[in-house]
Amino acid sequence: MASGFTFVVADDHPLFRGALIQALTGMGDGARILEAGDFDGVKALMSGGGEIDLILLDLTMPGASGLSGLVALRGLDPSVPIIVVSAHDDVATIRRALELGASGFISKSASMEAIRGAVSAVIEGGVVAPDGIDLGEEADPDISDLIRRLQTLTPQQNRVLGMLAEGLLNKQIAYELNVSEATIKAHVSAILQKLGVDSRTQAVIRLSKIGAEPITALE
């Protein structure tokens, strides 16, 4: 099934990266598997011009801040499906990942068979979560409001928000995205309005509320 597909395995632990690669290579011949050990590495692979069919993303790699990293990657290319792979496998984390655009969630304790099944389902256009879990409703009204607001951002606004979270200035963001500084200022104004905040700092603070260190503390 995996013939001809390009996968990105993004995890900072080489042993677990190896386990994911083993799961993917067991699915068929001809799959191309790229590796990233930090968030910058994932972004570089996504920006490299090659077609990527699926990303397996750890939430707690260096350079990423939990689910805010997922938001930033979705902004880079919303057409690439992302499966979050995390040891933080509580119901709240799974639900929030899916609401923020992940195509699936795999616990790091999942079996090889479960990993392959999830990848197959997502490649075929499905959305997957661990079996036997009732995702329920968001218990924290502030997080629920934040997720609804984040869902209104355009892909480019997600990219800009991710760069704001990295501490980049407007002119730096404009350079990275090859647009004018005036365009970035317009994006920032729209982001602040959609998130219901008055400053870049407040936007970054709001975004950090969906971080994963640990997400369970938000319950």
pLDDT at 219: 30
Question: In terms of domains, do 190 and 147 share one?
Answer: yes
Return mean pLDDT, the chain: 86
Question: In terms of domains, do 205 and 169 share one?
Answer: yes
CB 191 within 8 A of CB 203: yes
- Using the 3D structure, point to which of 123, 152, 168 is the last residue of a domain: 123
| Tokens at 178, concatenated | 């090859």
Question: In terms of domains, do 11 and 74 share one?
Answer: yes
Question: In terms of domains, do 11 and 113 share one?
Answer: yes
pLDDT digits (tens, 9 = 90+) for 198-208: 999 999 888 88
| Tokens at 89, concatenated | 């496998």
pLDDT at 215: 35
pLDDT at 28: 66
Domain count, the chain: 2
Task: Examine residue 130 and say whether the peptide bond preceding it is cis (omega within 30 degrees of 0).
Answer: no
CB 199 within 8 A of CB 160: no
Confidence of residue 212 (pLDDT cuts 50, 70, 90): very low
Task: Provide the residue range defining the domain that includes 48.
Answer: 6-123
pTM greater than the 0.95 cutoff: no
Position 136 in a domain: no
Question: In terms of domains, do 70 and 169 share one?
Answer: no
- Using the 3D structure, point to which of 123, 157, 183 is the last residue of a domain: 123
- Using the 3D structure, point to which of 123, 158, 180 is the last residue of a domain: 123
pLDDT at 98: 92
Strand, coil or helix: 32: strand
Position 128 in a domain: no
